[in-house]
Every structure is written in structure tokens, then in C-alpha cells.
Structure 1
Amino acid sequence: MTNPSPQASPSDDAAQATRDIADVAAVEVITTAAVHLMSAAAVKCGLAEGEEDLMDLDEARKLITALAGLVVTSAPDIGNQHARSLRDGLRSLQLAFREASVIPDAPGEGPGEKLTGPVY
């Protein structure tokens, strides 16, 4: 009697995942990470339709600052086409944060603004 097809071991799964990620261009990994940060920040800024109760500006500040770091430092390497759309999304989130804040930060002190400059 033969055994059914063997299950992939965890090390086989890890090796396959490594091969899969090796096939992905760096610009795709960077933009995917940026989109995840943008999505999470949008929710935390209260921009998710019907989910305003999920607003958490302390968390949004952290996410936006991390996004700013990623966008600013990767822009020279990912090209203007990708960087422009990421910068636009970042700026929109910075403005949404400013609008949602009861006590607005001083210009240049908002999330990520030390990296991007003041957002008005």
C-alpha cells in the first residue's frame, strides 16, 4: 500500500516563499508596503466609510511617519512615476490627520513632516 502524496514540510514552504519573493521586483515590494501603511493610516485617521469609531490619531501618527520615511528614502530608487503617487497619498494622509486633529500640530510638526516639510 502506498502513502498518499506527502505533505510539504514547513522548510519546503519557507523555501517556496523565498523563491516567490525573489521573483518580485523591489519597487513592487516597496509600493506594496506603502499601500499597506496608507490603508492602515487612512482607517486610523477616521477615513474608512462607516468606521469612524476606529479613529486613533496616535496610531495614525506612527503609521504616517513610517510611510514618510519609506517614501522619502525610497523615492530616488523607485522612479518618479511611483514616487509621485506615493507622495500624493502621503500628503493626503498628512492633511487628513491635520483636519482630524482637535489640536493641530504646528507647521512642520505633524506626522512625517520632519521628513517631508510642512504640509498645509
Structure 2
Amino acid sequence: MSIPAPESHEHVSPTSANDDGAANAARDIADVAAVEVITTAAVHLLSAAAVKVGLADDPETQKDLDEARKLINALAGLITAAAPEISDMHARSLRDGLRSVQLAFREASVIPDPIGQGPGEKWTGPVS
């Protein structure tokens, strides 16, 4: 059994390791177009909302309409605000996905919200 010499033993501070990771992440994100960041965030919100409205593999355990409402509201706000910036080509598919989860939410609700008062409808207008 050999014990390394003290001069060969090196400690890496967790802070310096995190700083390197943060610097790399900042460099990586600097190379990503704003449209891609926006659409990626929207797709994450859309996917999470779909799971929470019961459109996933195990709706009985994954459905949570309170959480779905929050996600759909955030998604609708993001799409509405970003649409002029990301072009119709990108916004159209996001709007279609949003509409799908809004309708799924209405269908999953025991007592559906009145038309125009469902999640995200403040930004999108009535969905039916």
C-alpha cells in the first residue's frame, strides 16, 4: 500500500468546480439563439402540462389539475408575449399545443371553467 506524497495531493474547491461549470454553461447558452431558448422553455411547459392534465402513461397518478392550470397559464403568457419575436412558423405549433392542453384540461375537469375563464384564456381568448 503506498501513500501519495503530500505535494501530489490536490484539493479542488467545490466552488471552483462550480465556477468552471457555470462558465461553461454561460458560454454554451451564449451560442443559443433566443428563439431556441424560448421554444425549448415552451416545450418543457407544454410537456409538463400534458402530463398534469392526464395525457401521459399513468394519468391516475400523474394528473394534477391545479399544477396543470399553473403550467398552462405560464405557457399561454410565454407564447403570447413571445409570438411576435419568434415568427409565426414557431408560434403556430406552440399555439396548437397550447390549445390541445387547454381542451384536455377542460375535458379532465369535473366542473369545467366557463368558456373564456379556463387556464391561459386570459391571454389566448376563449378556447372551445
SS at match of 2:39: helix
What's the CA shift string for 1:63-95, capped at 9, x where partnerless?
Answer: 000000000000000000000000000000000
SS at match of 1:38: helix
Q: Which runs of 5+ in 1 are unaligned?
A: none
Query: Residue 100 of structure 1 is aligned with which of 108, 115, 118?
Result: 108
In the TM superposition, 1:1-120 aligns within 5 A as 9-120=17-128
TM-score w.r.t. structure 2 length?
0.86
Aligned mates of 2:65, 2:44 — CA distance in 1: 17
Q: Deviation of residue 9 (structure 1)?
A: 2.4
Q: Deviation of residue 3 (structure 1)?
A: 5.3
Aligned mates of 2:59, 2:121 — CA distance in 1: 26
Aligned mates of 1:21, 1:29 — CA distance in 2: 9
Aligned mates of 2:68, 2:121 — CA distance in 1: 14
Structure 1 segments of 4+ aligned residues over 3 angstroms from their partners: 1-4
Aligned mates of 1:107, 1:51 — CA distance in 2: 24
Q: Deviation of residue 11 (structure 1)?
A: 1.3
Task: State the number of aligned residues.
Answer: 120
Over aligned residue pairs, what C-alpha RMSD do you find? 1.8
Q: Which runs of 5+ in 2 are unaligned?
A: none
Aligned mates of 2:44, 2:93 — CA distance in 1: 14
Aligned mates of 2:75, 2:99 — CA distance in 1: 10
Q: Which has the larger radius of gyration?
A: 2
TM-score w.r.t. structure 1 length?
0.92
- Identical aligned pairs, as a percentage? 70
Q: Deviation of residue 50 (structure 1)?
A: 3.0
